[in-house]
Structure 1
Amino acid sequence: MKAFKYIYEHHMDDADLFMKADEDTSVNLENLRYFLSGQNKNQPVYFCQHFKALVQQGVFSSGACYQLSKESPRRFGTQRSKASVCRQDGGAEDVEMEECMENLGAKVGNSTDKLGRSRFHFFDPETHLKGNYGDWYYKYDTNGTKKEPCHCNSSLQIFLLI
Structure 2
Amino acid sequence: MHVNRITEIFIFFIGFNLGIYLYFNFLPLHKKFKAVQNHPIKNFPTFEVKYEAKYDTKLADELVKNVRIFCWILTHPKNHKTKIPHMKATWARRCDKLVIFSTETDKDDPDIVALSNLNGREHLWNKTKYAMKYVYENHINDADWFVRADDDNYFIVENLRHKLSQYNPKMSVFIGCRYAVPYNTVDEGYMAGGGHAFSKKALTKFVTKLMPSGKNCIVKDAMFEDVNLGMCFKTHAVFVDALDEKNQKQMFPLGIDAHADKNVNTDFWYWHYIWSHVPQGNLDCCSDLFISAHYVGPKEQHLLEYLVYHVHPFGIVKNQTEKLPEKLKMGEVMKKADEKSISPQYVAHEIVHNFDDDEKDILLNE
TM bucket by the smaller chain? Answer: 0.7 to 0.9
Moved over 6 A (4+): none
Structure 2 vs 1, CA of residues 32 and 157 (structure 1 numbering), >3 Å: closer, same or farther?
closer
Pairing partner for 2:207 from 56, 71, 77:
77
1:31 and 2:159 equivalent?
yes
Pairing partner for 1:155 from 283, 289, 296:
289
> 1:40 corresponds to which residue?
168
Pairing partner for 1:125 from 223, 237, 256:
256
CA distance in 2, matches of 1:29, 1:2: 25
Report if the CA contact (8 A) 1:118-1:143 is conserved: no
Q: Percent identity?
A: 27
Pairing partner for 2:227 from 90, 95, 108:
95
Report if the CA contact (8 A) 1:60-1:98 is conserved: yes
> 1:141 corresponds to which residue?
274
CA distance in 2, matches of 1:41, 1:112: 18
> 2:146 corresponds to which residue?
18
Structure 1 residue 21, shift from structure 2 partner: 0.7
Report if the CA contact (8 A) 2:178-2:240 is conserved: no
Structure 2 vs 1, CA of residues 152 and 20 (structure 1 numbering), >3 Å: closer, same or farther?
same
> 2:197 corresponds to which residue?
67
Please list every run of 5 or more consecutive structure 2 residues that lacks an aligned counterpart in the other structure.
1-128, 294-303, 309-366
1:111 and 2:242 equivalent?
yes
CA distance in 1, matches of 2:132, 2:228: 13
Write the deviation string for residues 107-160 of structure 1: whole angstroms up to 9, x where unpaired.
Answer: 202421111112111222322332554423333211212342231121235435
Write the deviation string for residues 17-43 of structure 1: whole angstroms up to 9, x where unpaired.
Answer: 101111111101111111111211011
Structure of higher RCO (CA pairs closer than 8 Å, 6+ residues apart): 1
Aligned length, in residue pairs: 160
Structure 2 vs 1, CA of residues 143 and 131 (structure 1 numbering), >3 Å: closer, same or farther?
farther
Please list every run of 5 or more consecutive structure 1 residues that lacks an aligned counterpart in the other structure.
none
TM-score (norm 1): 0.87
In structure 1, give the amino acid aligned to 2:273: Y
Structure 1 residue 81, shift from structure 2 partner: 1.8
Stretch deviating more after TM superposition (48-57 or 65-74): 48-57
CA distance in 2, matches of 1:64, 1:56: 21
Q: CA RMSD in A?
A: 1.9
CA distance in 2, matches of 1:70, 1:14: 10
| Bigger radius of gyration | 2
Write the deviation string for residues 65-121 of structure 1: whole angstroms up to 9, x where unpaired.
Answer: 110011111111212222224223213111111111116x01202421111112111
